[in-house]
Amino acid sequence: MTRFGTLIRAVCTLFIIVAGPVPAVEAAGTVQELSLPSRVLDRDYRYTIYLPDGYAEGCSTYPVVYLLHGSSGNERDWLDKGDVKPVLDQLIAEKRIPPTVVVMPGHRGMWWVDGDGEKSETVLLTELLPDVEHRFRVYAERDGRAFGGLSAGGYATIRLAFTRPELFAVGLALSPAIYGPLPPPNSAAMKDPAFLKNGALDADLWIRLNWPSLFDAYRAQPLRVPLYLNAGDRDRFEIAYHTAVLHRELMRLQPEATEFRVVQGDHEWRIWHETIGDALIYGLARMKAPRPGPAPAAAGKDGASCG
């Protein structure tokens, strides 16, 4: 039996998720396409945002999930390829998650890190979060924030859990690209500007930024970030194996605050579409519920005028 098979069988159960088309629901949220003028990048930084049904008519404050795309994606990937809007509409309508704001930033390549390319993590934390918290009624504290993402976005979610646990309540990492010790030859990381030095993979940087180099510092501090992890059983990058290695360490440290699902499939949008609901149910149960606000006055720029 391979190391992959042995470890997977030892630490996880195979979950088969069968999902058909998500039916339309009457109470539907809205999506806005926005940008902020990034001083770090010296250009506009684009993101989309999902606002739950009723946002514009009320003054409630909402939990917020920052949902990251993969290495070659953009701010519309979760909407266009992951079809996440009807999933959110249905989960909220069925009261399986509370009304929630979901932010989907776009930064092609860069893996959401301050590596050898652009300072993607700096933009995310010092420009995007303040912009969203200024424009929209979302919680601006740890208990009301979550990060999640697929592949490179899952890699970033785990990094943020270990390096900035004071910032968010939970992490949702779908097929996280957390290869160790180095990425496989077919990984986008091998050609991504975030990890390139003189045209080749900067191996020292990859090792320094990846989770094994961060885990001791995370273990030594008091905060714990619940983590939802998943991967396909036929993932072409063997991500189920790499995620199982992480899960083993998390089970030793925070057994009540980690979940691992192995599902049928490859490294593909079908998996991420079918499992994002399960991840959100896990995450939102560990975050602050929406806080009702006062009755709104006249309509303002983002709906009701809430003072």
pTM exceeds 0.85: yes
> Is 296 inside any structural domain?
no
Average pLDDT over residues 182-196: 96
Residue 156: predicted pLDDT? 98
Domain hosting 80: range is 3-289
Residue 298: predicted pLDDT? 52
Tens digits of residue pLDDT in 22-42:
556 677 999 999 999 999 999
How many structural domains are present in the chain? 1
Cα angle at 174 between 117 and 223, to 5 degrees? 80
CATH of the domain at 213: 3.40.50.1820
Are 49 and 136 in contact by the 8 Å Cβ rule? The answer is: yes
**How high does pLDDT run on average in the chain?**
91
> Is the N-terminal amide bond of 181 cis, ω within 30° of 0?
yes
Question: Does residue 19 register a pLDDT over 60?
Answer: no
17: pLDDT confidence band, cut at 50, 70 and 90?
A: very low
Tens digits of residue pLDDT in 152-166:
999 999 999 999 999
Residue at token pair 């009702």: 292
20: pLDDT confidence band, cut at 50, 70 and 90?
A: very low
> Is 46 inside any structural domain?
yes
> Is 301 inside any structural domain?
no
